[in-house]
Structure 1
């Protein structure tokens, strides 16, 4: 998708709006500069004095002036055909390049494609049931033809289904008619066309399609990026394992840690949720109108339909749920979305901590030529990647929380509220994916500022009050906590004053010598080792799900 652009004082410029049937282009009497609609290195254009531009927007049948577009609430809405500029969701516009990998799975196209797969696989299953003599076993050539309908399914096929839906006003019935049309001239399948969608309710097809959509989107897109985030944070933990850092509890100086150990905590927390996600079973039902195989058993009473349904669902790589109404109750979806929310919550915690470390100067951010941090303050290098991530995680969690609360609730044997809601699953996953990639981008810009870390440690000798009073307890010094509280709380403590305090303690010489050697930089306990061994901890968690 490309467009040409030229801005000048010429009055002959025209702008053509991109729709599904147009290319988006600007033209004038000057040679236009060609550029991608979403160039990776920014938008390039030519500007010619006196900085004026006249343009007209052209649709299929008419040219609309800019003034008409400006008052679009009173004008022709045809100029706002769906494009990256008119999409209501930024996922389909501004952020498309960062989330488009989800489109084959979580879009309307994806839903249609997986419905087609389920319908075809069901007919193939029927051909393998001996009692269904009306659908004899298919030849290898017929199996190959039906498989080709799946393998070669493309955008043109999906658009054909949508055109049929305009007539039927029923999306699943449109799939059935589409397949009948595709197979009406086939010598074998044409004889059994009425066994497409045999004994099925729409939700038999839909629930399996939705489960397959989620399975593929998670396995092929979300999980790999989640794993990439975990690996990136593990690498931070190991790289920064030895770098001492002042802790802060309640925002106040506390016992030192290492920067790497604090990163390791997030890697382990995220890996636990990642493991939990991979263990959630994706369920499917195939029991007819209300889950009892009513029509099946009237047509073929001698067949064990619950067993056939279980085999069919499992053949798709899903777990069979025998106890259902017209719909699969969506409890597994609620569990899946809750687990994703918790992963996102942990990553939000990470984003905020990194934001804070940048704010106090523990991290610098690598700059990129040409980037702007503020429209008015030239010096700014803002932590925008972590802020973008946090914002999108919040948006994702809002949608996923609604889905997990709403989907398990359906009146009696079924109402239609789940149908419209299920179409929004891609939004929550899309904002999650966008957030993960923003976090990864931000991590790639981080550079440790050792000077600032050292500065805070050197000004926080009071944190050694904890180990000193602990050693005093061991050797029976009276009221150790109270003595250190009186000496340090609310007071300025220096290296000299702290060592003078230790010199005056009645302790064994070796214990006193060890305390005198202690500094805020060295009082880090097992933090370094915990950070260095983070890979083993994460791998142990993730391998337990296999």
Structure 2
């Protein structure tokens, strides 16, 4: 069977192929090969800029021709590298041999031994893969999070004056507004997104065991540490880990994965809350002509976008957890377990992207049922007990909490009539009674509306 969205094992490349297409330039096998080619060529050019003693570098025009190798790199070129790999059984060495052949064909044979000069495979992998992750985050994942935050902020403004019962422990509590409760998620997401952006994307570059052994053996007079810092930090715009084994220690990569996981966890929380509000009929979902909610129950309009998001976010977090827990651990100077794990970096981000798109779609379908929300508020007059006992405390009224507890903690609904009768029974002046009667479940929302700007 040929590989198509119908035959792919993973739903990321199958059912959800269109939803994850934006990530293919960063996490496909083709992408990994292309990024490796990019690093190898830029490293060669960096060597030319030193320059090495006795080494006459190519002129500027030739340098630009060399850069065209990765600028014009195609899937056909990647297939050639895969054919070489079938012989070498080594993916990075296959890239080196491909580039040497390309140099020969361009009349640059005298330079070819400076391709992958004094490097180990992880000098390429531990720069190419962080670059892939950085670009995917900056160009795809973070913009989708930012767009979702904007949507949530917009909805919070639309609903900022819609009073609703709050629910703590599943029971009616002091009222709030729908806008403020939705805005909670926007603020949480923004804080964690800022943290994600602040984490340096790390890279390793220092030879077979991180000591520049081969570099120093060939050219002992060069400051290779300064060279590597400049190449990684300025040319590649990554953050070089200076003291390493053969591999990057991955601590900051783990921090990145944990940061994405926290963002996803917030979205799981939001998905479940909105799902609950839909089940309470606080929200209705727009009906799309031709869609089916159930194969047996024709009336069903299900919150599938929020359920889809929750499921994909859970999958993403399980994988992100493994990445952040496994990658910083390696036997002695290096074992190969990081290699196969790193190849899956795109999978949790793909599930995250699917979820972000599902949530955007679901939020666009929401319609607030103000009548239902208002009805629930009016059916829960016990929630103003907090306000009344607090006001009474402010005037030193004896045991107001206990008196309100006796009235409201009975297991029965408290009506407006009962609450006003209680207020009438209080030994306070008429002005205070009038003030207390003005407190309703709808207006007892504190500063909730002001928190949404």
Question: By how many angstroms is 1:154 displaced?
Answer: 1.2
Structure in which a larger fraction of residues adopt helix = 2
Q: Secondary structure at the match of 2:19?
A: helix
Aligned residue number for residue 243 of structure 2:
323
Does 1:488 find its partner at 2:408?
A: yes
Residue 508 of structure 1: how far off its partner (Å): 4.4
| CA deviation string 1:484-530 (max 9, x = no partner) | 00011123211111111112223344433221111100101000111
Of structures 1 and 2, the one with the larger relative CO (CA 8 A, separation 6+) is 2
Q: 2:163 aligns with which of 214, 229, 244?
A: 244
Deviations 1:44-93 (A, max 9, x none): xxxxxxxxxxxxxxxxxxxxxxxxxxxxxxxxxxxx23221111100101
Match of 2:25 among 104, 126, 149: 104
Q: After superposition, give the CA deviation of every residue in 1:125-164 in whole Å (9 maximum; x if it has no partner).
A: 1111133322x23212111101211211111111111111
Check whether the contact 1:123–1:195 (CA below 8 A) recurs between aligned residues: yes
Distance 1:129 1:487 in 2: 84
Alignment of 1:373-522 (within 5 A): 373-489=293-409, 490-522=411-443
Aligned to 1:311: 230
Number of positions where the alignment pairs a residue of Structure 1 with one of Structure 2: 451
Secondary structure of the structure 2 residue equivalent to 1:226: helix
| 2: CA distance, partners of 1:155 / 1:312 | 27
Contact 2:379/2:413, CA 8 A, preserved across alignment? no
Q: Contact 1:472/1:507 (CA < 8 Å) preserved in 2?
A: no
CA distance in 1, matches of 2:51, 2:87: 36
Distance in 1 between the 2:54 and 2:423 partners?
93
Secondary structure (helix, strand or coil) at the match of 2:49 reads coil
Please report the TM-score for the alignment, with normalisation by the length of structure 1.
0.82
Cα distance in 1 between the residues matched to 2:128 and 2:260: 20
Q: What SS class does the counterpart of residue 18 from structure 2 fall into?
A: helix
Please provide the CA RMSD for this pair: 1.0
Q: 1:213 aligns with which of 132, 149, 153?
A: 132
Match of 1:536 in 2: none
Query: Which residue does the alignment assign to 1:222?
Result: 141
CA distance in 2 between counterparts of 1:511 and 1:276 reads 49
Match of 1:354 among 256, 260, 274: 274
How far is the alpha carbon of 1:361 from its aligned partner?
Answer: 0.2
SS in 2 for 1:127: helix
> Any idea what SS the aligned residue of 1:257 has?
strand
SS of equivalent residue, structure 2 residue 20: helix
Q: Counterparts of 2:431 and 2:118 in 1: how far apart (Å)?
A: 84
1:113 aligns with 2:31: no
Equivalent residue number for residue 51 of structure 1: none
The partner residue of 2:154 within 214, 235, 240 is: 235
CA distance in 1, matches of 2:244, 2:430: 74
CA contact (8 A) 1:285 1:309 kept: no
1:544 alignment partner in structure 2: none
Q: Give the match's secondary structure for 1:254.
A: strand
> What is the deviation of 1:114?
0.5
Please give the residue correspondences for 1:259-338 in structure 2 after superposition, counting only pairs within 5 Å.
259-314=178-233, 315-338=235-258
Matched, 1:530 2:412: no
Question: Matched residues in 1 for 2:228 and 2:431: separation?
Answer: 75
- Following the alignment from structure 2 to structure 1, what is the Cα–Cα distance between the partners of residues 432 and 239? 62
Offset of 1:376 from its aligned partner? Answer: 0.2
Runs of at least 4 residues off by over 3 Å = 508-511
TM-score (norm 2): 0.98
> 2 CA distance for matches of 1:213 and 1:279?
17
Q: Please give the secondary structure, in 2, of the residue aligned with 1:353.
A: helix
Once residues 321 and 364 of structure 1 are traced to their aligned partners in structure 2, the CA distance between those partners, rounded to angstroms, is: 51
Distance in 1, matches of 2:212 and 2:322, equals 32
Unaligned runs of 5+ in 2: none
Which of 65, 86, 90 matches 1:166?
86
Q: In the aligned structure 2, how far is the partner of 1:130 from the partner of 1:94?
A: 51
The runs of 5 or more residues in structure 1 that have no matched partner are 1-79, 534-546
CA distance in 1, matches of 2:38, 2:301: 49
Following superposition, the deviation at residue 333 of structure 1 comes to 1.0
1:94 aligns with 2:15: yes
